[in-house]
Amino acid sequence: MRKASVAFLLCLVGVAWTPAGAQTAAPPVQSSAAVAPATAATRPLPRVRLVATGGTISNRRGGRLTAEDLVASVPGLGDVAALQAEQFANVGSSQLTLSQWLGIAQRLNTLFREDPDLAGIVVTSGTDTLEELAYFLHLTVRDRRPVVVTGSMRNPSQVGYEGPANLLASVRVAADARAAGRGVLVVLNDEINGARDVTKTDALRLLTFAARSFGALGVVDADRVVFRRTAEGRHTASSEFDVSQIAALPRVDVFLVYQGAPGDLLKAAVDLGARGIVLATAGAGAISGTQGEGLAYAREKGVPVVSTTRAGSGRIAPSRSGAPATSSVGPGPAERPLPPRIAAGDLSAVKARVLLMLALTKTSDATDLQRMFDEY
């Protein structure tokens, strides 16, 4: 009776009682690692790949920095991501060839295809033609994961070299899951811009890359990456352009409208093998001099002509007049209808060239080309 009373009292205070001599089994021990959620300190770092192509960010006096040198130059980079670096090229951006553009896109597609756990890729580039390379990758890297293109305006031998800061910000964006699906991004000076809209606005100043009318997609702050909008239009994973099927890009030339501009330059480009023409028109589509004759000659020869504006911003809309252009070039009494000029929308001339080169690998039909410029 006394033992029963003791057992009853022990149960009330939550202590198990075992009669003398009885064998007890030790309670199972649970590992805190097995039940506790992973913390920021224990969670594996996202893996990011750096693909270096050269540019001012690498152009140190006495010899260019390698991809490994760039990584070593950035304090705290190892706290942000597990970074692997590779050297694709080490030249100025204007020295990259179109064949190398294809090679870079093919390499990035291969990295994503072979490594499903890769968080993102950072590409370093010279800033002079960075916006063109970024837009080309925007159209040809067929994966939702982020590709971030970066560089620097000052080289490693100059005071105020901003390369390490730009590289750190770019790796942070590439490692951020919220960057996925926004297309190729351009990150410099802690600003995130979309590859389609961004342009270099000043030849020398650090704050040169901007999207003008449309604004940045987000910023890289000290505590986190902040996105405020996304990229519209088709790109990356939804793109129809497959670089694995493209052996070479067709020649496309860019011309500027200026007072009294001759049309014979357009004719010469066609005769020398241009497959497409991009014309940076005055205002919202005006031409000058004898350029009309050159344009008619190009279209007579089946060379598509794309119109954009030299103004720096603004949209060129497709013609809705319903009256097709006619040709007076070549023999025959009857004038023949010509395909209309293709409107580039708000793409700059250099980016219209990028899209037209890719589009011409699929078709030269004016209607289908206009569809691509509308969608991308």
Residues designated catalytic: 56
* Sign of the dihedral through C-alpha 199, 203, 207, 212: negative
b or e along 270-280 (b: 16 or more beta carbons within 10 Å of the residue's beta carbon)? beeebbbbbbb
Query: Please, are residues 57 and 166 in contact by the beta-carbon 8 Å criterion?
Result: yes
| DSSP letter for each residue of 240-307 | ---GGG-S-PPPEEEEE--TT--SHHHHHHHHTT-SEEEEEEBTTTB--TTHHHHHHHHHHTT--EEE
Query: Please, are residues 154 and 160 in contact by the beta-carbon 8 Å criterion?
Result: yes
Question: How many beta carbons lie within 10 A of that of residue 13, not counting itself?
Answer: 6
* Gap between the Cα atoms of 360 and 373, Å rounded: 12
As a residue count, the chain comes to 376
